[in-house]
Amino acid sequence: MHDFEVTILGCGSATPSLLRNPSAQLLNVAGHSFLIDCGEGTQIQLRKNAAKIQRISHVFISHLHGDHYLGLLGLLQTMHLLGRKTKLTLVCPPELKEIIDLQNKHSQTTIVYEIEYIFTNPKQAELVWEDDKIEVKSFPLRHRINCTGFLFKEKPHLKNIIKEKLDEFNVPTSQVNKLRLGFDAINEKGKTIANDKLTVSAPVQRSYAYCSDTNYYEEIIEHIKGTDLVYHEATFLEAEIERAKKTFHSTAKQAATIASKAEIKQLLLGHFSARYGNTDGFIIEAKPIFENTLVAQEGQTYKIN
């Protein structure tokens, strides 16, 4: 089974701080290297974490507040200077293309590799990308400007064949593809052999959701229902709930409430305001509502099992 894991590169909110970098994470899924948001300083964070920049095939940008994308122009330029040959796909708000085009125009740069754009829709959930192993959906969040979250989910796995059973029931190998899809087999004597005698079930489909900047928004629940690991912003603690409302952010308790209602497996809190030196308060406020809560730590990798 492929690795499915996320490395936190930045989990601070808007104001730069010596403690935390702005939002960015590297998701390793089904052999792909995906970057999710790209705040200022992401290139340095990628290097610190020994990530291979040119291996990144897709960048997912949640919204156009600077703390979520200002590192992207630099990253695109580095890929250019290093002579990247492969296409880079940007899944992002449409306005980001204007910003990138303007930068390239005034720096008189013609990027040497192809950039493919897939625009997110802030109004409704959409499938934004898929291959034979995974699918990625975007879904609306509620923030001061258009903002989307992303759900990364494995596709149903094929069933695993029990080789000794093929011999035992005289099933020819020509039946294997059918069996892996879940159909019964016909053996050499023309007899039907039930699928469950010859196969074992595939591992469950793993999933990861990224809920970027948002205030308490129950519409998120349907999109992340049952997800294995959810990163949800928790910019503030409960004492700042009014401030959270005004700035379209969430508290730790609100994030935990969403996690609990969506019956997810594990919650990872992030996007902490620079006012909080340590994150103990986030755990103290979230755990009574949703026990399986972690606070994000930069440089840490979280496995999705």
Which residues does the annotation mark as catalytic? 67
Q: How far is the CB of 182 from Zn ion (least distance, A)?
A: 43
Q: Which of 28-36, 59-67, 157-165, 279-287 is the region at the interface with Zn ion (rule: CB under 5 A)? A: 59-67
Looking up tokens 């069933």, which residue turns up? 159
Among 37, 154, 213, 285, the residue binding Zn ion under the rule CB under 5 A is 213
Report in angstroms the alpha-carbon separations of 63 from 51, 138, 241: 24, 12, 22
Q: How far is the CB of 96 from Zn ion (least distance, A)?
A: 14
Task: Give whichever of 154 and 213 is closer to Zn ion, judged by the CB atom.
Answer: 213
Q: Which of 100-108, 207-215, 219-227, 281-289 is the region at the interface with Zn ion (rule: CB under 5 A)? A: 207-215
Q: Which of 156-164, 211-219, 239-247, 287-295 is the region at the interface with Zn ion (rule: CB under 5 A)? A: 211-219
Q: Does 228 bind Zn ion (CB under 5 A)?
A: no
CA distance 4 to 8: 14
Looking up tokens 């099992």, which residue turns up? 305
Q: Does 65 bind Zn ion (CB under 5 A)?
A: yes
Residue 153 burial (CB < 10 Å; 0-12/13-18/19+)?
middle
Task: Give whichever of 178 and 275 is closer to Zn ion, judged by the CB atom.
Answer: 275
Q: How far is the CB of 169 from Zn ion (least distance, A)?
A: 58
Q: How far is the CB of 305 from Zn ion (least distance, A)?
A: 28
Task: Give whichever of 213 and 228 is closer to Zn ion, judged by the CB atom.
Answer: 213
Task: Give whichever of 67 and 285 is closer to Zn ion, judged by the CB atom.
Answer: 67
Q: Does 154 bind Zn ion (CB under 5 A)?
A: no
Among 37, 67, 228, 285, the residue binding Zn ion under the rule CB under 5 A is 67
Task: Kindly list the strands in the beta sheet with 56-60, ordered across the sheet, starting from the edge strand earlier in the chain.
Answer: 115-119, 88-92, 56-60, 32-38, 24-29, 4-10, 301-303
Q: How far is the CB of 203 from Zn ion (least distance, A)?
A: 34
Task: Give whichever of 14 and 304 is closer to Zn ion, judged by the CB atom.
Answer: 14
Q: Which of 66-74, 101-109, 123-131, 281-289 is the region at the interface with Zn ion (rule: CB under 5 A)? A: 66-74
Task: Give whichever of 14 and 267 is closer to Zn ion, judged by the CB atom.
Answer: 14
Q: Does 249 bind Zn ion (CB under 5 A)?
A: no
Would you tell me how many other CB atoms lie within 10 Å of the CB of residue 57? 14
Q: Does 232 bind Zn ion (CB under 5 A)?
A: no
DSSP-assigned states of every residue in 6-36: EEEEE-B-SS--SS-PPSEEEEEETTEEEEE
Q: How far is the CB of 239 from Zn ion (least distance, A)?
A: 20
Binders of Zn ion: how many residues, by CB under 5 A? 3
Please report, as ranges, the residues that interact with Zn ion according to CB under 5 A. 65, 67, 213
